[in-house]
């Protein structure tokens, strides 16, 4: 009788992934139907804001479980701190917008947003460099070229649509370059782990980072033209980022 080989424990569930997309889309659709009053902090924004500490504490849980590991403890502690910093940035942003009633772009809240990147980069590089000390020249070449291509593409798109070379343009460009670097390191990690039990986990992390990069790039493009709103689809992409990476953290515990 023919038997089916069991699926590897690290393989993620497409049903769970579909449910994540379904929940995010439902959140976005209802948010647009309700149309919250501009300048108020509503339930939908609260859900998005709270998604960051949820991801952070999921990462802290992984770090605690593997704290005595030479690599995973510190790496996942750093990832948790990255999302916690982003949470602090979000709280600062909405405090300025909804309590102080002032424009929160740019603002002191950006300190939290900027702090996300060094912690995220540490996590990604700590994992990748531990399991692969040396990389081929072509790998080094695309890692270097990736941020450059994204920055140039963003610049061409924004300027071709009537944007000006001003503070907003360069300020957004600084975030775009950091986003591109984080995404490049995430893809590098996926390549390092693709043949291991952690391959599916890193695939999810890359997917989450892709949504994060698109969302941030889109947001700073919108800010140039003052088109960002609380109901814009870019918010759904941020929510997908945290939900997918939280699921990746759950799968990580099931693998090792």
Is-contact 93 104, C-beta < 8 A? yes
Establish if 36 belongs to a structural domain.
yes
- Would you call 20 exposed, middle or buried from its count of C-beta atoms within 10 A (0-12, 13-18, 19+)? middle
Domain that holds residue 43: 19-255
Establish if 5 belongs to a structural domain.
no
Tell me the pLDDT tens digit for each residue of 61-92.
999 998 988 888 999 999 999 999 999 999 99
Residue whose pair of structure tokens reads 């918010």 in the numeric block: 235
What residues in the chain have per-residue pLDDT under 50? 1-8
Establish if 4 belongs to a structural domain.
no
Is-contact 78 119, C-beta < 8 A? yes
Establish if 70 belongs to a structural domain.
yes
Establish if 195 belongs to a structural domain.
yes
Domains contained in the chain, number = 1
Whether the full predicted model's pTM is greater than 0.95, yes or no, is no
The per-residue pLDDT for 191 is 85
Is-contact 163 225, C-beta < 8 A? yes
The per-residue pLDDT for 21 is 97
Establish if 206 belongs to a structural domain.
yes
Tell me the pLDDT tens digit for each residue of 89-110.
999 988 888 788 787 778 888 9
Establish if 85 belongs to a structural domain.
yes
The per-residue pLDDT for 7 is 41
Establish if 7 belongs to a structural domain.
no
Q: From its phi and psi, is residue 35 left (phi > 0), alpha (psi between -120 and 50) or beta?
A: left
The per-residue pLDDT for 40 is 65
Length of the chain in terms of residues written: 256
The per-residue pLDDT for 195 is 77
């Amino acid at each position: 009788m023919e038997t089916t080989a069991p699926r590897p424990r690290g393989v993620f569930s497409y049903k769970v992934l579909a449910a994540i997309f379904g929940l995010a889309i439902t959140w976005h659709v209802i948010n647009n139907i309700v149309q919250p009053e501009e300048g108020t902090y509503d339930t939908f924004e609260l859900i998005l804001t709270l998604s960051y500490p949820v991801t952070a504490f999921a990462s802290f849980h992984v770090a605690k479980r593997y704290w005595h590991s030479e690599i995973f403890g510190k790496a996942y502690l750093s990832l948790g701190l990255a999302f916690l910093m982003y949470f602090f940035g979000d709280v600062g942003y909405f405090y300025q917008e909804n309590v102080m009633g002032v424009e929160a772009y740019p603002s002191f809240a950006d300190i939290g947003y900027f702090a996300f990147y060094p912690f995220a980069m540490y996590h990604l590089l700590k994992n990748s460099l531990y399991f692969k000390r040396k990389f081929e020249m072509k790998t080094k070449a695309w890692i270097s070229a990736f941020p450059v291509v994204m920055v140039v593409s963003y610049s061409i798109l924004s300027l071709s649509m009537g944007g000006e070379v001003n503070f907003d343009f360069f300020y957004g460009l600084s975030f775009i370059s950091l986003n591109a670097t984080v995404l490049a390191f995430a893809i590098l990690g996926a390549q390092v782990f693709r043949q291991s039990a952690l391959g599916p986990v890193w695939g999810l992390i890359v997917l989450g980072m892709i949504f994060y990069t698109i969302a941030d790039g889109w947001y700073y493009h919108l800010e140039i033209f003052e088109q960002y709103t609380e109901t814009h689809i870019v918010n759904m992409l941020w929510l997908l980022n945290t939900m997918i990476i939280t699921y990746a953290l759950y799968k990580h515990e099931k693998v090792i």
